[in-house]
Amino acid sequence: MAEHHAGWSSNHQPAHAPGGLEAAAAIAIMTPAHIAGVMAIEQSAFAAPWTRELLCQELAAPGGLRYVAIRTRPQRGDIAGYICGMLVLDECSIHKIACHPGCRRRGMGGMLLRYFMQQAMGRGARLFMLEVRESNVAARQFYHSFGFVQTGRRRGYYSDAHEDALVLHYRAADPVGGAPAADIISG
């Protein structure tokens, strides 16, 4: 059975107030049992989604941190979002984050990203890195709200649309979002 790590409600408050929040969720380590739910979101969220094979490779990669947000109500058990990345020494790359289209702008992505970063920092991460499509204004704004800054550009990185990737970094000095460390159970 999946180990649930952080509740959505009670005292586990996201950094951003979840305006209009209707669902509740808990965070669990992503396992093969979550692949179908993750793939459904992946395919709805990205122009060039990962294949099931790529997701399985991600799940098997050493040094990976992968979490899902699982609804606790109203439909108990549905996957509402996920995040995955990899830690190498003190550098952590964020490979994917996505929330179900019906769950966006309610703090779910923020909850996942904060939890991921707290877990990574607990294991020594100090620099977080990711690439984002230049046209993905929502994601850029999302990362900006966490303090990520643009440090580079990869021209034509997304071959499907010949689109540039912006390289974003976050250098950790303080606990992410100021959330109390006591809320986090190590994963």
Ligand X SMILES: CC(C)(COP(=O)(O)OP(=O)(O)OC[C@H]1O[C@@H](n2cnc3c(N)ncnc32)[C@H](O)[C@@H]1OP(=O)(O)O)[C@@H](O)C(=O)NCCC(=O)NCCS
By the criterion CB under 6 A, which residues form the site for ligand X? Answer: 16, 45, 97-99, 104-110, 132, 136, 138-139, 141-142, 145
Number of H-type helices and E-type strands within the chain: 4, 8
φ, ψ for residue 134, nearest 5 deg: -60, -35
Cβ closest to ligand X, residue 75 vs residue 141: 141
Residue nearest to ligand X (CB): 109
Cβ closest to ligand X, residue 87 vs residue 166: 166
CB of 1 to ligand X, least distance (A): 26
CB of 158 to ligand X, least distance (A): 11
Cβ closest to ligand X, residue 42 vs residue 119: 42
Cβ closest to ligand X, residue 105 vs residue 169: 105
CB of 18 to ligand X, least distance (A): 7
Contact assessment for residue 124 and residue 90, using Cβ atoms and an 8 Å cutoff? yes
Which two structure tokens, joined as six digits, stand for 110?
């923020």
CA distance 56 to 58: 5
Q: In what order do the strands lie in the sheet with 64-73?
A: 4-7, 24-29, 64-73, 79-88, 91-99, 127-133, 163-171, 149-158
